[in-house]
Amino acid sequence: MIVPGSSSQLLAAALADETDRRLATATYDRFPDGETLAAVPEFDGESATVVATTDSDAAWVELLQLQDAVREAGASHVTTVIPYMGYARQDRSFADGQPVSARAMARAVSTGTDRVVLVNPHESAVADFYSVPVDVVDAAIVLADPLPDLVDPLFLAPDEGAVGIAETVRDAYGTGETDYFEKHRDRETGAVSVSPSDASVSGRDVVVVDDIIATGSTMSEAAGVLTDRGAPRIVAACVHPMLAANAVTKLRDAGVDRIVGSDTIERGCSVVSVASVLGDALGADTVGGE
Ligand code: R5P
């Protein structure tokens, strides 16, 4: 049975359809003091696949509760799908006294599951923080589906780390060049600057591809350079459309025409689902029946 976190109900339903499994109707309540209370139906020895994005502190608590609840309800085997792993960018202690938050989260999650599936975590090395088997899934391929017809497209990574997913999207789209900018982020202020490549963008549609748009600083810096160089159309594509604070308006202001994201974080721009990719990853994970 698929058990959704409150922020992943659409994705969980799509995954249930994709894998022909039942979808649990979990409940998400709060006590008067604000504490979370998530609950699940009976399981009768079925296996459980908890699908819960962790885009907020509350979502992490809810995930831990759902894991515990399915065990209490008799689930024979628990798989935890984390479509977006929050805190994954805190994968080391950046200053004296700071925690390795990704490790802390992974340790907590590992206590309540037999297996974990992560979608495009910031660094795949965070998988090592879990003490249960982890599958890391690259869902960038789905971002090609909703792209409009593009003129002489350039698939651009806003930093070197995103080159791989830019190439994946280009390959799935079927034609186009790839290139990347070099990025510098000031750790104190969070301000981003990019060193552009020589790629000509005049008369070309540009798809800027990244794993996540969080504050939108990276994407808007890249888009601003592309706009100044005369790119006629800029599409911002990402697996995880976090779009915190004023990210959407920053992107619009920088000249982005369209934002394309997946449903790892369910937003208005989540125009494509990672359910098919997750379905493949879950495969024969039917221990104890579904
Ligand atoms: C960084 O390496 C990531 O790939 C993203 O470029 C970054 O996390 C995006 O963050 P923001 O939208 O805050 O610039």
pLDDT tens profile 115-163:
999 999 999 999 999 999 999 999 999 999 999 999 999 999 999 999 9
Tell me what pLDDT residue 199 has.
81
Amino acid at 220: S
Nearest CA owner, ligand 1 atom 10: 214
Cβ-contact 236, 248 below 8 angstroms: no
Please give the helix or strand (H or E) that residue 39 lies within, else none: strand 36-39
Strand partners, 80: 50, 116
Q: What is the rounded average pLDDT for all residues in the chain?
A: 95
For ligand 1, the distance from its centroid to the CA atom of residue 214, given in whole angstroms, is: 6
Q: Which of 28-37, 166-175, 183-192, 201-210 has the lowest mean pLDDT?
A: 183-192
Q: Is 211 in the pocket of ligand 1 (CB under 6 A)?
A: yes
For ligand 1, the distance from its centroid to the CA atom of residue 85, given in whole angstroms, is: 14
pLDDT tens profile 9-35:
999 999 999 999 999 999 999 999 999
- State yes or no: is 183 an active-site residue: yes
Cβ-contact 166, 156 below 8 angstroms: yes
For ligand 1, the distance from its centroid to the CA atom of residue 247, given in whole angstroms, is: 11
The pTM of this model reads: 0.94
Q: Is 211 helix (H, G, I), strand (E, B) or coil?
A: strand
Cβ-contact 22, 49 below 8 angstroms: no
Dihedral (Cα; 204, 211, 134, 115), 10-degree rounding: -110
Lookup: tokens for 259: 């934002």
Question: How many residues can be counted in the chain?
Answer: 290
Going by C-alpha positions, the residue among 272, 18, 257 that lies closest to residue 140 is 272
Percent of the chain's residues with pLDDT above 90: 89
Ligand 1 atom showing the smallest separation from residue 218 Cα = 14
Q: Is 217 helix (H, G, I), strand (E, B) or coil?
A: helix
Which residue among 211, 221, 246 is best mutated to probe the pocket of ligand 1, counting the most ligand atoms within 8 A of its Cβ? 211
For ligand 1, the distance from its centroid to the CA atom of residue 182, given in whole angstroms, is: 12
Report the chain's C-alpha Rg in angstroms: 20
Task: Catalytic residue, from 170, 183, 233, 267: name it.
Answer: 183
Q: Is 140 in the pocket of ligand 1 (CB under 6 A)?
A: no
